[in-house]
Structure 1
Amino acid sequence: MAATPPPPPAVPAMNSPHFIGIGGAGMSGIAKILTQRGARVAGSDARESGTVQALRALGATVHIGHDAGHLADDADCVVVSSAIREDNPELAAARARGVPVVHRSDALAALMADRRAIAVAGTHGKTTTTSMLAVALRALGLEPGYAIGGDLDVPGSNAEHGGGPWFVAEADESDRSFHAYAPEVAVILNAELDHHANYASLEEIYQSFEVFTGRIRPGGTLVINADHEGTRELTARLRRAARPDPAIVTYGADPAADVRVVSVVPKGLTSEVSVAMADRELTFTVSVPGRHYAHNAAAALAAGVAAGVPAEKLASALAAYTGVARRLQPKGEAAGVRVIDSYAHHPTEMTADLEAVRDCAPGGGRVLVVFQPHLYSRTRELGAEMGRSLALADASVVLDIYPAREDPLPGVTSALITDAARRAGADVRPEPDRDAVPELVAGMAAPGDLVLTMGAGDVTELGPRILERLAGVPARTTGSEE
């Protein structure tokens, strides 16, 4: 681990940047911050969305669809994510014209370079933990800058320039882009094998996180989970290296953790969390259910304290967090049935969210899941585990795989999940027709039940339609373009 992290890659001026896929969770946040800093932001996205509209309201120029003609003559750089393919016409035009191409992570690193950065990494929980910390710091009047992977309350609320010294950001390991950051405080929530297109083994995951910890600024702090097998391995490796930096602070239920989660008491869709640290015990409310989210709050508390925020004030301020879009987000209730939306798409996340909502379901009420697998590569490697996770529900409907950036893989279908779920004793049925799901689920549900729409794709759009059918509104179709 290097004593002094190397500087981030040089980034050209971003006075007139063009974003390809500007409506994406990570890209839109950077675009928003640049507009707040006075840049003339332009870009394109595949379709209209609330996020696109919010960017336009800030003054950004956003085109729908991808075309070389969208790239303005005065664009001084083009910002892309790993999801943008080389044959994208706007990217091809930029390369032909010699316009610098900047990866999203390098753009974000440049925005954080003059701030005291807190970077939150891990296979699961990054968006929630980053959001909790950003909201708490904001509630304390510290005006943090932040960039997170989900909206706090309304579209476009996933980022803010902020006027204070701190900047809180998600650190995405999926494509190793978090190696661009040099935080003062880093958080690692967990480390599991995922993103199989980029990592061939768990050892590669460990090596990637070790590089990330080597990027922590001299005198900085690493906050790391004491309970998770992967993070315990990382902690052991770092301690064997016997480097003076970074300082290591552990959190979790482990009796030896520096920030120890003493208890998590479910209270409907909230939890009362008690943690012990140093010579004190603090109790505060977390406005999302489940032990998984309570531990995210403990990580946020540990990171904020490492940054110098008084523990008592930060614990109280964490109550200001009321959730983030798609992280066990209540969508409404109709005919006595509640609908909640979950972004969970990895078996560990699926299990955590199913256990959390089980505690929220009224006595006798069932938990019904509409699950949409995300990525062919993930389904190939983890489909059996996903199926076993669905056995925690009373009944599940499984959609076809949401491909996102991937092309189909031979033999990889949702049947890998449904077959494993049935072997685990689950009541599960496949449904390739997304438009048929609202009617199907409305027919399955009874008063007192809870419906969970789950997955990282467009399954989120089904929640409102299920509520409509429960309320007796006639069925509608969306068309194949969705």
Structure 2
Amino acid sequence: MPNTVDLSGKPFHFIGIGGIGMSALAYVLAKRQLPVSGSDLRSSGITKRLQAVGAHFFEEQNATNLEFFRRKREPVYQELSVTGIGITQDRQVVDESSKSSQTIGTEEISSDLPQVICSTAINPLNSEYKAAIEKGYPIFHRSDLLAALIQEYESIGVAGTHGKTTTSSLIGYMLLKAGLDPTIVVGGEVDAWDGNARLGNSPYLVAEADESDGSLVKLAPKIGIVTNIELDHPDRYENLDQVIEIFQIFAKGCQILIGCIDCQTVRSQLKPTITYSLSRDLGANYSVDNVKYEASGTTARVWEGEEVLGELQVKLLGTHNLSNAMAAVALGRHLGLDFEAISLGIASFGGAKRRFEVKGDVNSITFVDDYAHHPSEIQVTLAAARLQVEAPRRIIAIFQPHRYSRTLTFVQEFGQSFSNADVVVLTDIYSAGEPNLGQITGEQLRDTISAHHKRVYYQPTLDSVVKRLTEILQPGDLAIFLGAGNLNQMIPQVMDFYQIDRNDRSLKLSQAS
């Protein structure tokens, strides 16, 4: 199996092309006019966007999909000067009275085997994956392709346990607004470029660098950014030390490392080249004071060493998003951007989807979708929500735990993560493909949260969550859906319920029960 991804023109086939990370890479390749095909179990807005830029999509995973580029053939014609009866190369009989230009066979547009791209999520028993191995197709992990793209650009890789998507999206947006026209590959969809990727014409590439499966060690961007380091994937790592080791290898591969030294682990274990902090006391290269956290956003005075750069305005709520913005400030200044250009880009960035994404306001109830699935993420997200909600308004936190291993490892931390919520609605654990070993249940997590919180409802199914929400939500509430699974799929259903009038609601409830 070749150990190098070929970007010179050979075709690519993505197994699971609809995934958020896979689709971003496929989009960039298709926009570069490379042959791209891919399969997934269902179509989506993401796969339709890929089709619009020339990728071929299979709405099923079948071994024959791998033959797509080899099956594409075009007729080859030859002038026939012979008289009488002749035989074509494909054994068709030709009469001299027929057209002088005849089909004499077929020729493959591309006889190359497609380079097969897959992610850690692909099951080894997947029919396409098994066929690719059996037939000797070159197979690469998603991270191998990203690593190859990173080597072609003046690349910026954004890593960290939390904040990767927002920080990389914000940096990409800032560079775009500053006229640097970057290529962007991120793990979330952004309205500014209508998706999770864009192809620019400059040397710059902004990429989200994921540590979840250990593939972070393959990435060696020119500039690396680390937002923080925590244990988040106990299915992969036994302890924090193993996570630190992965980030240390990543850091060594970067020519410049920008790091948030508010995270003690980053400060002591990585020793970044350029540092940023929300405190003036840590001696960071970039820091802030005069911070004001408000419902409309955050303002702060930004320092570069001992010099004031100016005031920064951030639409995104909370301390964590101010920290993400400071990563963008540090990167922008390293690239030589004026602070005015940096601040204008940051001030107008509206965020990525599923990161405190307001889905709508119905019957004076605000519905928010957020990807938070780790105790630290839940804490900062609910703290940001509290900036917008004061009594008697309520925060209703609807949470779907993600993975048995994570829930088991952090069960006590989850118990203390909901202090800013007035009501917690908890549903069963989303497996994300993990086997249920019977070590942790949704009911056990409910009991742990209940030890720290007065109002916790456990609803084992999504349907029962919808029913509970139709009973408890009231005007003025902020309902925030938290999790990395499929919990957010119910938001439209709950919103629809509150859009109908009260009489119809009563009828609908009686029918549901």
Fold conserved (TM > 0.5)? Answer: yes
Structure 2 matches for 1:74-473, cutoff 5 A?
74=69, 75-153=113-191, 157-217=195-255, 221-235=256-270, 238=271, 247-255=273-281, 256-278=283-305, 279-472=307-500
More deviation in 420-429 or 10-19? Answer: 10-19
1:230 and 1:67 mapped to 2: Cα distance? 45
Aligned partner of residue 71 in structure 1, secondary structure: helix
1:414 and 1:58 mapped to 2: Cα distance? 43
Aligned to 2:82: none
**Unpaired segments ≥5 residues, structure 1:** 1-7, 239-245, 477-482
Between the aligned residues of both structures, percent identity stands at 35
Aligned to 1:11: 5
- Tell me, yes or no, if the aligned pair for 1:439 and 1:469 is still in contact at 8 Å: no
- Counterpart residue type for residue 91 of structure 1: Y
- Tell me, yes or no, if the aligned pair for 2:280 and 2:289 is still in contact at 8 Å: no
**Unpaired segments ≥5 residues, structure 2:** 70-112
- Counterpart residue type for residue 27 of structure 2: K
2:416 and 2:494 mapped to 1: Cα distance? 25
Shift in alpha-carbon separation, 1:317–1:154, aligned structure 2, 3 A: closer
TM-fit CA distance, 1:445: 1.5
- Counterpart residue type for residue 46 of structure 1: L
Q: 1:38-64: CA deviations, max 9, x gaps?
A: 012111112221111111111211122
2:126 and 2:6 mapped to 1: Cα distance? 21
- Counterpart residue type for residue 198 of structure 1: R
Q: 1:257-303: CA deviations, max 9, x gaps?
A: 21112143233242223321131232122121111111111111112
Aligned to 2:97: none
Shift in alpha-carbon separation, 1:392–1:260, aligned structure 2, 3 A: same
TM-fit CA distance, 1:139: 0.8
1:206 and 1:434 mapped to 2: Cα distance? 36
Please give the TM-score of this superposition, normalised by the length of structure 2: 0.85
1:197 and 1:263 mapped to 2: Cα distance? 41
- Counterpart residue type for residue 259 of structure 1: Y
TM-fit CA distance, 1:156: 5.6
- Tell me, yes or no, if the aligned pair for 1:345 and 1:454 is still in contact at 8 Å: yes
The two structures, once aligned, show a CA RMSD in angstroms of 1.9
1:151 and 1:378 mapped to 2: Cα distance? 25
- Tell me, yes or no, if the aligned pair for 1:223 and 1:251 is still in contact at 8 Å: no
Aligned partner of residue 280 in structure 1, secondary structure: strand
Shift in alpha-carbon separation, 1:356–1:197, aligned structure 2, 3 A: same
Q: 1:122-142: CA deviations, max 9, x gaps?
A: 000000000100011111111
- Tell me, yes or no, if the aligned pair for 1:76 and 1:100 is still in contact at 8 Å: yes
2:193 and 2:303 mapped to 1: Cα distance? 36
More deviation in 300-309 or 377-386? Answer: 300-309
- Counterpart residue type for residue 12 of structure 1: D
2:286 and 2:432 mapped to 1: Cα distance? 38
Within the candidate set 34, 48, 52, 1:53 is matched to: 48
Q: 1:203-241: CA deviations, max 9, x gaps?
A: 111111110001113xxx211112112212224xx4xxx
Q: 1:307-330: CA deviations, max 9, x gaps?
A: 332233112211221111000000
1:418 and 1:22 mapped to 2: Cα distance? 36
2:332 and 2:175 mapped to 1: Cα distance? 8
1:111 and 1:436 mapped to 2: Cα distance? 45
- Counterpart residue type for residue 45 of structure 1: D
Shift in alpha-carbon separation, 1:9–1:392, aligned structure 2, 3 A: farther
